[in-house]
Amino acid sequence: MQKVAFEVKKIIHRNDENGFTVLRGKFDVNRFPELPATQQTIVGYFVSVFELDEFEGEGMFASHPKFGKQFQLTWAKRLIPTSKKGLQAFLVRCVKGVGKKTAEAITETLGTDAVARIQQDWRVLLDVPKISEKKAKQIAAAIQESQAFEEVFTFLAHHGIGYQKAISVYENMKTSAISNIQSNPYCLAVIKSITFEEMDRVAKKMDFPYNHPHRIQQGILAYLEKKAKQEGHLFMFAHQIKEQLPSFLLEIGAYHELLHDPIDEHLHQLEREGKVVIDQNRNGEQCVYLAHYAHIESKIVQHIQKRMNAQPLCSESDIAACLQVYESQHGIQLATKQKEAVYMALRQPISILTGGPGTGKTQTINAILFCLETIRPDAVIHLCAPTGKASKRLAEVTHREAKTIHRTIGLNGFDDVHRVQPINGDLLVVDEVSMVDAYVFYKLLSATPSNMNVLLVGDYEQLPSVGAGLVLRDLIESRVIPVTTLTEIFRQAQDSQIVTNAHKLIKGKTTKDPDGLFFDHHKGDFYFIQHQHEQTVKQLIVKSIEKMMTRYGYTLDDIQVLTPTKVGALGTHALNALIQETFNPKREGQEQIMLKNKQFRTGDKVIQTVNNYELEVFNGEVGRIVGVDQNQKGNLFVQVSFDNRQVRYPFEMAEELELAYALSVHKSQGSEFPVIIMPLHQSHLFMLNRNLIYTAWTRAKEKVICIGSQELLDLAIQRTDKTVRHSLIQEKLTEAQKAALPL
């Protein structure tokens, strides 16, 4: 490491988002004679930087494989210029409210040490012509603010915290930021974008003890958050935390020492501070929640309890009469279970309708809606689903308006401070509930009055939600909420190999069973192409897409490649690149952009990967890039078409997009596509199970093409999704019902 001072001669590259800058600079060889006297390439992070600015800092010379020798700064601090011209430029650039004329007047009156004099006593500014007391205070405050942020930024950059995060730290802690971090680097946890790993690196650099209580407690919170996000647990058992925390800290932390300290007192301290909640299950085991997950769980139970005694929407006799009319008008005979579901939905305050493909869930929903609207013409009904695709499909099959859950209740963030818009009405139908996590379900119940009937519709055999919780399964297994399970496959669905094979699959039938999976290619709706070599499978995916487009007239929007993983030769990243290059290659005049090593072109099929409440685009929505433009300031925007609306992404938000020619099976939940193409390869073995394949196959409306090994398919069918997500929803609902029963 070398200390340096330098003057900026030319700015080569500047990223205004994170402050990263490449510049040509001239070192001050009078202060540091060992440094080169010629101009050098200098790289580092700066709050702001202009030509002729002067800085001091620390760093080292390194050789970049592409750009050659450069001096890489670990931190840089702006120096206040000593020349009158330089000082005037500094005041204009760095002090809010100071223009060129004011800067000239300040330097003429106070000299080149004006900034130091102002910092010592703001009243010296009153000697400057045309500066009032109010203006003088504003200028002094702006100088202090500028200097303070520079110090905080320099301090954080020295400890590996980037520009945008430094802004958040300063906005939260102001001038006390440095002293706060020095006394407890884990206070950075108040900044949501700063990870435990980053805090730990700061702590280690400051020689903070590896077993300090602040580190252990923040480590517990990070462990619980990771388990919620990656494994879906609402709580972890105390004994799991004690067993796993030491290795967790060793794995993700900056220290190499293995923690041996007892954890109990730290858990109780976090409980006293309200950061965790410690509960017990019926076996007396301690269950440790992050406070907001404990709140979510208890509120779900309370909301369900509150609505259990609501009055039925319709009488049994009215429903019976309406069902006869419905069957007569549609020329059908509803199955017994379907009729049971109609009575259940209209007479029970909260109920669940579940079943696989072809069992008549849609017909049942339509019968429920028909009966309610006939019996009570003024009834207010809301239809919603977790994703845009799922809500659009619900609208199409019911011929009524349906929205995403987020739009229905006005949900715009993951935090209890994010209020929802209460919805009033008689019946709420929620489709694809297997995708709904605990937080969204809690917010949905919060928005609905206790006298509104709620019908939850879903296929519990599908993959669980991406977010924490296993809501649908918990509710079904509690046996507190009435459930109707449709099992009969309707005659018209029996002709579909997609439907029949999906049902055989979920029952554990393999290709070797006499009544097991069977693929009749002549029927044209289900193909299994046996090949195991990765390169051949990739080629067959491309050929299958070409065949579907040329022979059958499908478009790229109709065809969806689904794969279990993101990585590997047959993961989403590699397949997206292959399909993009094959079907949307770079053409002359075509707009092309790079975002964090992701290459997008006009015409590309893309998917939104997170909920963006500002743009009202939600995780899982698929669209197409239709253009790139820029405003008068030169800021780039990406235009994406989603169904019938266009969304204009600021360039930095476009990083939330990914190519969508190939999706993970998880990402496809709630959607339907005419054609599904799915590789089944040995490289996917650790991911493959019965429920994942079932979820993928049931996304297809018309054709499924599987490419891979039938032996691997049979092996995967023997493995069911053994997802276990810690939650006491089921247990608490059961206990609450027992407590409510008369003695």
Tokens encoding 453: 């009937």
Total H helices, total E strands in the chain: 26, 26
Euclidean distance between CA atoms 433 and 456, whole angstroms: 6
**Eight-class DSSP state of 368:** H
Question: What one-character DSSP code corresponds to residue 612?
Answer: B
The separation between CA 346 and the C-alpha centre of its own chain, rounded to angstroms, equals: 35
Collapsing DSSP states into helix, strand and coil, what is residue 72?
A: strand
* Residues 428 and 384: beta-carbon distance below 8 Å: yes
DSSP 617: B
C-alpha 43/C-alpha 244 separation (Å) is 40
Which DSSP state fits 69?
A: E
- Read off the DSSP letter of residue 286: E
* Distance of alpha carbon 414 from alpha carbon 705, whole angstroms: 38
For 397, the enclosing helix (H) or strand (E) is helix 388-398
By CB atoms closer than 10 A (0-12, 13-18, 19+), residue 291 is middle
- Going through 472-621 in order, the beta strands assigned E by DSSP cover 483-486, 526-530, 559-563, 592-595, 598-601, 605-608
- What's the start-to-end Cα distance of the chain, in Å? 78
> Known binder of ligand: residue 362?
yes
Structure tokens that stand for 36 in this block: 């080169």
243 CB-side CA count, 13 A: 5
At residue 695's C-alpha, the angle toward residues 526 and 443, to 5°, is 150
| The Cα angle at residue 87 between residues 83 and 89, in degrees rounded to 5 | 120
Helix crossing, 213-231 with 196-205: angle to 10°? 160
Alpha-carbon distance values, 247 to 203, 241, 252, 484 (Å): 18, 10, 9, 45
Q: Can you tell me the distance from the alpha carbon of 139 to that of 123, in angstroms, rounded to the nearest whole number?
A: 11
Q: Is 205 annotated as a binding residue?
A: no
Q: Which of 486, 427, 493, 489 is nearest to 461 (CA)?
A: 486
Angle at 509 between CA 506 and CA 510, to 5 degrees: 120
Dig out the tokens for 682 from the structure.
């040995």
Neighbour-count burial for 454-493, b at 16+ CB within 10 Å, e otherwise: bbbbbbbbbbbbbbbbbbbbbbbbbebbbbbebeebeeeb
Instruction: Determine if residue 389 is labeled as part of a ligand binding site.
Output: no
- The answer to the question of whether 111 is labelled as a binding residue is no
- Residue 360 is assigned to a ligand binding site: yes
What is the C-alpha to C-alpha distance for residues 393 and 401, in angstroms, rounded to an integer? 10
Binding site residue list: 358-362
Binding site residue list for ATP: 358-362
